[in-house]
Amino acid sequence: MKVSYLTPLLCIGMLTLSGCNDPKKPSESNFKEAAQQYLDTVYPVCYIKANFPYKTDGISFNNMPEVLHAMAEKGLLTEKELSRKHIDASWGIKSHDIVVNSYDLTEEGKKYYKPDAEKNMRGENIGGFCFGKATVTEVSNFTEPSDAMGQKISRVSFSYKVTEIPEWAKTPEILSADRQIKKDVDSANNGMKVTNVFVLTNNGWIHERLFGK
Protein backbone atom coordinates (compact mmCIF):
# COMPACT_ATOMS: atom_id res chain seq x y z
CA MET A 1 0.00 0.00 0.00
CA LYS A 2 2.82 2.38 0.81
CA VAL A 3 4.41 1.76 -2.58
CA SER A 4 1.21 2.53 -4.49
CA TYR A 5 0.76 5.65 -2.38
CA LEU A 6 4.30 6.91 -2.92
CA THR A 7 4.36 6.34 -6.69
CA PRO A 8 2.20 9.36 -7.66
CA LEU A 9 4.02 11.47 -5.07
CA LEU A 10 7.36 10.54 -6.58
CA CYS A 11 6.01 11.37 -10.01
CA ILE A 12 4.87 14.79 -8.83
CA GLY A 13 8.22 15.40 -7.17
CA MET A 14 10.10 14.55 -10.34
CA LEU A 15 7.86 16.59 -12.65
CA THR A 16 10.33 19.45 -12.77
CA LEU A 17 12.94 16.96 -13.93
CA SER A 18 10.58 15.94 -16.79
CA GLY A 19 10.39 12.41 -15.40
CA CYS A 20 6.60 12.36 -15.77
CA ASN A 21 6.24 14.33 -18.99
CA ASP A 22 4.11 12.50 -21.54
CA PRO A 23 5.82 12.79 -24.96
CA LYS A 24 2.52 11.87 -26.64
CA LYS A 25 0.70 14.85 -25.19
CA PRO A 26 -0.01 17.69 -27.67
CA SER A 27 1.87 20.48 -25.89
CA GLU A 28 4.08 23.43 -26.78
CA SER A 29 7.13 21.79 -25.22
CA ASN A 30 6.67 18.51 -27.09
CA PHE A 31 6.07 20.23 -30.42
CA LYS A 32 9.02 22.56 -29.85
CA GLU A 33 11.27 19.58 -29.24
CA ALA A 34 9.91 17.76 -32.30
CA ALA A 35 10.33 20.85 -34.49
CA GLN A 36 13.92 21.27 -33.33
CA GLN A 37 14.62 17.61 -34.03
CA TYR A 38 13.40 18.14 -37.60
CA LEU A 39 15.36 21.37 -38.17
CA ASP A 40 18.52 19.63 -36.99
CA THR A 41 18.14 17.26 -39.96
CA VAL A 42 17.68 20.18 -42.41
CA TYR A 43 20.52 22.45 -41.30
CA PRO A 44 23.26 23.10 -42.23
CA VAL A 45 21.62 23.76 -45.62
CA CYS A 46 23.57 23.43 -48.86
CA TYR A 47 22.70 26.56 -50.84
CA ILE A 48 24.97 27.38 -53.79
CA LYS A 49 25.53 24.15 -55.70
CA ALA A 50 28.23 23.52 -58.30
CA ASN A 51 31.04 21.10 -59.01
CA PHE A 52 34.57 22.45 -59.26
CA PRO A 53 36.52 23.31 -61.33
CA TYR A 54 33.58 25.25 -62.77
CA LYS A 55 33.57 27.10 -66.09
CA THR A 56 30.98 29.74 -66.96
CA ASP A 57 29.61 29.88 -70.51
CA GLY A 58 29.12 33.62 -70.68
CA ILE A 59 25.40 33.34 -69.94
CA SER A 60 24.05 34.52 -66.60
CA PHE A 61 21.87 31.59 -65.54
CA ASN A 62 20.44 32.00 -62.01
CA ASN A 63 23.01 34.78 -61.54
CA MET A 64 25.67 32.09 -61.15
CA PRO A 65 28.50 34.14 -62.75
CA GLU A 66 27.74 37.05 -60.42
CA VAL A 67 27.59 34.76 -57.38
CA LEU A 68 30.85 33.01 -58.23
CA HIS A 69 32.57 36.33 -58.88
CA ALA A 70 31.39 37.62 -55.49
CA MET A 71 32.67 34.45 -53.81
CA ALA A 72 36.01 34.85 -55.55
CA GLU A 73 36.27 38.39 -54.20
CA LYS A 74 35.66 36.99 -50.70
CA GLY A 75 38.47 34.48 -51.10
CA LEU A 76 36.41 31.30 -51.38
CA LEU A 77 37.20 30.68 -55.05
CA THR A 78 39.96 31.40 -57.51
CA GLU A 79 38.88 33.18 -60.69
CA LYS A 80 40.63 32.96 -64.05
CA GLU A 81 39.42 34.66 -67.22
CA LEU A 82 39.53 32.25 -70.16
CA SER A 83 38.06 34.41 -72.91
CA ARG A 84 36.31 37.71 -73.58
CA LYS A 85 34.22 38.74 -76.59
CA HIS A 86 32.82 42.22 -77.11
CA ILE A 87 29.27 42.53 -78.46
CA ASP A 88 28.33 45.84 -80.08
CA ALA A 89 25.00 47.49 -79.35
CA SER A 90 22.19 46.64 -81.76
CA TRP A 91 18.41 46.30 -81.86
CA GLY A 92 17.92 47.64 -78.37
CA ILE A 93 20.72 45.54 -76.89
CA LYS A 94 23.42 47.43 -75.05
CA SER A 95 27.03 46.75 -75.86
CA HIS A 96 28.57 44.24 -73.50
CA ASP A 97 31.30 41.67 -73.08
CA ILE A 98 30.75 37.92 -72.96
CA VAL A 99 33.27 36.65 -70.43
CA VAL A 100 34.10 33.01 -69.78
CA ASN A 101 35.75 32.38 -66.42
CA SER A 102 37.07 29.33 -64.63
CA TYR A 103 36.58 28.91 -60.87
CA ASP A 104 38.08 26.55 -58.32
CA LEU A 105 37.96 26.14 -54.55
CA THR A 106 40.43 27.82 -52.23
CA GLU A 107 41.32 26.45 -48.80
CA GLU A 108 38.82 28.90 -47.31
CA GLY A 109 36.11 27.72 -49.69
CA LYS A 110 36.72 24.08 -48.79
CA LYS A 111 35.68 24.85 -45.21
CA TYR A 112 32.08 25.31 -46.34
CA TYR A 113 31.99 22.97 -49.34
CA LYS A 114 30.38 19.54 -49.28
CA PRO A 115 31.18 17.52 -52.44
CA ASP A 116 28.09 15.31 -52.14
CA ALA A 117 25.45 17.89 -51.22
CA GLU A 118 22.89 16.23 -53.51
CA LYS A 119 22.56 13.93 -56.51
CA ASN A 120 21.33 14.82 -59.99
CA MET A 121 18.94 12.73 -62.10
CA ARG A 122 21.85 10.57 -63.27
CA GLY A 123 22.82 9.77 -59.70
CA GLU A 124 25.96 11.92 -59.85
CA ASN A 125 27.10 13.96 -56.86
CA ILE A 126 26.70 17.73 -56.93
CA GLY A 127 28.63 19.75 -54.38
CA GLY A 128 27.40 22.76 -52.46
CA PHE A 129 28.32 25.37 -49.88
CA CYS A 130 26.63 24.37 -46.64
CA PHE A 131 26.14 26.33 -43.43
CA GLY A 132 23.62 27.60 -40.89
CA LYS A 133 22.00 26.42 -37.67
CA ALA A 134 18.26 26.75 -37.04
CA THR A 135 16.80 27.17 -33.56
CA VAL A 136 13.10 27.04 -32.68
CA THR A 137 12.12 30.20 -30.82
CA GLU A 138 8.38 29.73 -30.33
CA VAL A 139 5.43 27.43 -30.90
CA SER A 140 2.56 29.86 -31.42
CA ASN A 141 -0.33 27.42 -31.89
CA PHE A 142 -1.30 23.91 -32.85
CA THR A 143 -4.54 22.17 -33.82
CA GLU A 144 -6.28 19.52 -31.80
CA PRO A 145 -5.03 16.09 -32.94
CA SER A 146 -7.17 14.57 -35.68
CA ASP A 147 -7.17 11.37 -37.71
CA ALA A 148 -5.60 11.30 -41.17
CA MET A 149 -4.87 8.10 -43.07
CA GLY A 150 -4.76 6.07 -39.89
CA GLN A 151 -2.51 8.47 -37.99
CA LYS A 152 -3.03 11.17 -35.40
CA ILE A 153 -1.76 14.49 -36.74
CA SER A 154 -1.59 18.11 -35.64
CA ARG A 155 -0.80 21.24 -37.62
CA VAL A 156 1.78 23.20 -35.71
CA SER A 157 2.81 26.82 -36.26
CA PHE A 158 6.27 27.62 -34.99
CA SER A 159 9.00 30.20 -35.48
CA TYR A 160 12.73 29.75 -35.81
CA LYS A 161 15.83 31.74 -36.57
CA VAL A 162 18.96 30.77 -38.46
CA THR A 163 22.42 31.66 -37.19
CA GLU A 164 26.00 30.72 -38.06
CA ILE A 165 25.69 32.19 -41.56
CA PRO A 166 29.12 33.40 -42.76
CA GLU A 167 29.49 37.07 -43.62
CA TRP A 168 30.46 36.35 -47.22
CA ALA A 169 27.02 34.81 -47.79
CA LYS A 170 25.36 38.13 -46.92
CA THR A 171 26.71 40.06 -49.92
CA PRO A 172 24.01 41.65 -52.14
CA GLU A 173 24.95 39.51 -55.17
CA ILE A 174 24.46 36.29 -53.24
CA LEU A 175 21.35 37.40 -51.37
CA SER A 176 19.67 38.48 -54.62
CA ALA A 177 20.54 35.19 -56.30
CA ASP A 178 19.38 32.83 -53.56
CA ARG A 179 16.03 33.51 -51.89
CA GLN A 180 16.58 30.86 -49.24
CA ILE A 181 19.79 32.48 -48.02
CA LYS A 182 18.02 35.85 -47.83
CA LYS A 183 15.14 34.36 -45.84
CA ASP A 184 17.54 32.68 -43.45
CA VAL A 185 19.61 35.83 -43.01
CA ASP A 186 16.47 37.90 -42.35
CA SER A 187 15.23 35.31 -39.82
CA ALA A 188 17.98 36.31 -37.38
CA ASN A 189 16.10 39.58 -36.77
CA ASN A 190 12.53 38.86 -37.80
CA GLY A 191 12.20 35.12 -37.24
CA MET A 192 10.70 32.72 -39.76
CA LYS A 193 7.21 31.36 -39.15
CA VAL A 194 6.00 28.12 -40.72
CA THR A 195 3.11 25.71 -40.27
CA ASN A 196 3.94 22.02 -40.61
CA VAL A 197 2.22 18.71 -39.93
CA PHE A 198 3.39 16.58 -37.02
CA VAL A 199 2.53 12.91 -36.57
CA LEU A 200 1.97 11.03 -33.33
CA THR A 201 4.04 7.85 -32.97
CA ASN A 202 4.51 5.38 -30.13
CA ASN A 203 7.52 7.46 -29.04
CA GLY A 204 5.83 10.85 -29.28
CA TRP A 205 5.38 13.58 -31.89
CA ILE A 206 7.61 13.90 -34.96
CA HIS A 207 7.63 16.04 -38.11
CA GLU A 208 5.82 14.43 -41.05
CA ARG A 209 9.05 14.31 -43.08
CA LEU A 210 10.68 12.17 -40.41
CA PHE A 211 7.75 9.77 -40.17
CA GLY A 212 8.71 6.26 -41.21
CA LYS A 213 12.45 6.96 -41.16
CA atoms of 85 and 77, how far apart (whole Å)? 23
pLDDT tens-digit readout, 137-174:
999 999 999 999 899 999 999 999 999 999 999 988 88
List the domain boundaries for the chain. Answer: 22-44+132-210, 47-130
Query: What pLDDT score does 6 carry?
Result: 47
Which of 105 and 88 is assigned the larger pLDDT? 105
Distance (Å) of CA 135 to CA 43, 105, 142: 10, 30, 18
What is the pLDDT at residue 2? 45
Burial class (CB in 10 A: 0-12, 13-18, 19+), 78: middle
What was the pLDDT predicted at 1?
Answer: 45
Strands 192-201 and 204-207, how do they pair? antiparallel
Give the mean pLDDT of the chain: 88
Question: Would you place residue 72 in the very low, low, confident or very high pLDDT band (cuts 50, 70, 90)?
Answer: very high
Contact between residue 44 and residue 133 where contact means Cβ atoms under 8 Å apart: yes
Q: Are 72 and 79 in contact (CB under 8 A)?
A: yes
Residue bearing the bigger pLDDT, 1 or 36: 36
CB 174 within 8 A of CB 72: no
Distance CA 121, CA 51 (A): 15
Share of the chain above pLDDT 90, in %: 69
Q: What is the pLDDT confidence band of residue 85, given thresholds at 50, 70 and 90?
A: confident
In 3-state terms the chain splits into helix, strand, coil percentages (rounded to 5) of 30, 40, 30
pLDDT given at position 38: 98
> What does the pLDDT look like over 36-45, one tens digit per residue?
999 999 999 9
Distance CA 15, CA 75 (A): 52
Q: Is the pLDDT of residue 17 over 60?
A: no
**Phi, psi values for residue 66, rounded to 5°:** -65, -40
